[in-house]
Amino acid sequence: MKLVSIEINNLRCYKETVNVSFDNLTTFIGKNDIGKSTVLEALEIFFNNDTVKISQGDANIHSGDLKVSIICEFSSVPDNLILDSGIHTSLKDEYLLTEDGTLKVKKVFDCSKKTPACEVFILANHPRTIGINNLLELKEKDLQAIIKKEEIDCPLKGNPIMRKAIWSHADELDLGYTELAVTKPKEDSKRIWEQIDKYLPLFALFQSDRSSKDSDGEVQDPMKTAVATAIAEVQDDIDRIEQRVQERTEEIANNTHAALETIDASLAKELKPEFIPPTPAKWTGLFSVNLTTDGIPLNKRGSGVRRLILVSFFKAEAERLLKKGNKKGIIYAIEEPETAQHPNNQKILQRAFIDLSNEANCQVILTTHSPGFASDLPADGIRFITRGETGKPTINSDSDVLIEVAEALGVTPDSRVKLLCCVEGPTDISALKALSKALHKEDPSIINLETDDRIAFIVLGGGNLKHWVNNNYLKGLGRPEFHIYDADVPSYVQYAEEVNARSDGSRGFITSKHEIESYLHKDAINLAFNIDMEVTDHPNSDGKATPKIFSEIYSEMQGYDGIMKDNNAKLKLADKAFPKMTASMIKERDPDGEIEEWLRLMSTEL
């Protein structure tokens, strides 16, 4: 499952309801003490209530209400669930999804108590017609009674089967917004929640103000997450163990009762075990990991070294998930990852976060107030938190959010820029940088876009904060522009012609091949992913271009459910395959020297 949004009500500074959407990589930006950490901690409370536990003082002090509500919405819900009866059902069949087909789970914490109690609800588009609006709460005999009374043709066994038959038989369901309690012992509603809970993503929160002890902090939290991830990967084996233990304990209880009856049958008519399996948290608590470096306990090393463990953890996770598909979703939430990090390490972290967020079933959430760190992160995922004159926090993710961020954080354009290179998307930047670097290595007279600060990239279809700022602040400075568009969109030809009609040194180009990925060499893809595939100049006879062909092969290799999106395929090719390109590979795929021509013409304007 993937996290779509969170809705927070009455938690700390969020007196009134606030709703935040999430991308694969989401960055919360704002000044100190503005409410960034509260969003991440709300997620921690929702998923784990461990690293951060909700307490009596967490309810907003001005509201007069002592109940805190946190609602999380998820996409990519499981196709089926298996209840204790062994009957397959689904959230859709049980009317437990929203109108949009997402799963919304609401947790309400009563902060009037010393240890706040939690109630869980599923918010769904559920039947509201009296008599069939509470089927999830009914016992088997109650469902059987309805089947008989209504003379419905249905087996009198299997609660999901009977519910489905009853709903299908009804003249009017009156579907509408419903809050269904799922934590109280109400037949299948509680069992369904227990099944759903297994599918929720793992959530790992890394806080910037943690202590520097080896017992927790930078060292233990990543290791705890690693243990939780490993346990999730063997959950099927754990379920089989729990089932076997339950069967054996019930057998022992039955034998004990039989022996008791031979002694005195009046002592107990029934001896029934109530089996309580260990929660995932208890399984995780069975394991601990100690780390040493060259025989030296990590808690004896400096704080800088311990923080580097965090850098290494995320880099390793990105590489691991690249090689092995992750079936269970995981969300990494990191507060101010740039804290106490050398700029080089910050770049490593940025790259690792982007890699992680591009993996299937993986999301990354960050907080920062550093313009330098924020400037290279995807703009689509930026959430800007401010407070008005009344002190009420607001979270902006609209199209104008970058203007507010630039003004608040003091992000300014680079005065060294002499030329703007306009492309369609971020992957085009990575591709052009890699191609220019390879050609520059063989011929230093060719510009290296990766290191030349005189050229700023403008992403016309999105991009990151730095690109947007350069675009908006530099376009009034009279800098020449180079526009490079893929040939897959016919209307781009007109745009390129309009650019070429200018008299300021600007130029527009349309690729002779279908798109930038069509310039890749098959050997570069093979070196990066161990995939042997053909790369064609234009879509093949099935209408599939390079990213689509790659996504199908890669998804099958990783065992993904379904096919990876083309955008994710482009990201992987840009990140891993293009850097493997050599000058000889480029010349083989581009014998007319089209790419080299772009680069040499750029040099003439510098």
Q: Residues 454-462: what's their mean pLDDT?
A: 77
Q: Is the pLDDT of residue 89 over 60?
A: yes
- The alpha helices in 234-328, defined as continuous H runs, are 235-264, 280-285, 303-323
Structural domain includes residue 489:
yes
From the number of C-beta atoms within 10 Å of its C-beta (0-12, 13-18, 19+), residue 128 rates as middle
Please report the sign of the dihedral spanned by the C-alpha atoms of residue 143, residue 144, residue 148, residue 152.
Answer: positive
Beta strands in 153-194 (DSSP E): 175-181
CA distance 402 to 49: 33
Find the Cα–Cα–Cα–Cα dihedral 132, 138, 140, 146, rounded to 10°. -30
End-to-end CA distance of the chain: 49
Which amino acid is residue 596, in one-letter code?
A: E
CA distance 521 to 114: 64
**DSSP string for residues in 539-592:** --TTS--HHHHHHHHHHHHHT-SS---HHHHHHHIIIIIGGG--HHHHHHH-TT
334 closest CA partner among 365, 378, 380, 379: 365
pLDDT at position 215, please?
43
**What is the band of 518 on the pLDDT scale with cuts at 50, 70, 90?**
very high
Q: In the chain, count of helices (H) and strands (E)?
A: 19, 20
Which amino acid is residue 595, in one-letter code?
A: I
Yes or no: say if 125 and 98 are a contact pair by the CB < 8 Å rule: yes
Q: Residues 258-263: what's their mean pLDDT?
A: 67
Beta strands in 402-454 (DSSP E): 419-423
Domain final residue pick, 170, 200, 230: 200
H or E stretch at 188: helix 188-199
Bridging pattern class, strands 67-75 and 103-110: antiparallel
Domain final residue pick, 153, 181, 200: 200
Structural domain includes residue 290:
no
Q: Residues 107-117: what's their mean pLDDT?
A: 94
Among 1-10, 282-291, 558-567, the range scoring the smallest mean pLDDT is 282-291
DSSP reduced 3-state for 485: strand
414 closest CA partner among 463, 370, 347, 477: 477
Q: Residues 516-535: what's their mean pLDDT?
A: 95
Q: At what angle do helices 140-149 and 159-169 cross, to 10 degrees?
A: 30
Please report the sign of the dihedral spanned by the C-alpha atoms of residue 406, residue 407, residue 410, residue 412.
Answer: positive
Tally of domains within the chain: 2
Among 79-88, 137-146, 267-276, 397-406, the range scoring the smallest mean pLDDT is 267-276
Q: Report the mean per-residue pLDDT for the chain.
A: 83
Task: Please give the model's pTM, rounded to 2 decimal places.
Answer: 0.73
384 closest CA partner among 138, 15, 30: 30
Q: Residues 326-345: what's their mean pLDDT?
A: 77
**What is the band of 237 on the pLDDT scale with cuts at 50, 70, 90?**
confident
Q: Which residues are CB-contacts of 205 (< 8 A; sequence separation ≥ 6)?
A: 40, 41, 43, 44, 48, 51, 52, 221, 333, 334, 335
**What is the band of 475 on the pLDDT scale with cuts at 50, 70, 90?**
low
pLDDT at position 210, please?
47
**DSSP string for residues in 63-85:** T---EEEEEEEEES--S-EE-TT
Structural domain includes residue 162:
yes
Position with higher pLDDT, 499 vs 462: 499
Please report the sign of the dihedral spanned by the C-alpha atoms of residue 399, residue 386, residue 394, residue 98.
Answer: positive
CA distance 496 to 506: 10
Q: Is the pLDDT of residue 474 over 70?
A: no
Q: Is the pLDDT of residue 14 over 90?
A: yes
Structural domain includes residue 266:
no
**Cα separations in angstroms, 112 against 45, 63, 106, 108, 116:** 17, 13, 19, 12, 7
Q: Is the pLDDT of residue 297 over 50?
A: yes
Range with top average pLDDT, 64-73, 472-481, 493-502: 64-73
Domain final residue pick, 171, 200, 229: 200
Position with higher pLDDT, 145 vs 356: 145
Quickly count: other Cβ atoms within 10 Å of residue 202's Cβ. 21
Q: Is the pLDDT of residue 302 over 70?
A: no
Place of tokens 């960050």: 366
Range of the domain at 436: 419-604
pLDDT at position 414, please?
64
Structural domain includes residue 402:
no
pLDDT at position 216, please?
43
Q: Which residues are CB-contacts of 310 (< 8 A; sequence separation ≥ 6)?
A: 206, 218, 222, 337
CA distance 357 to 202: 14
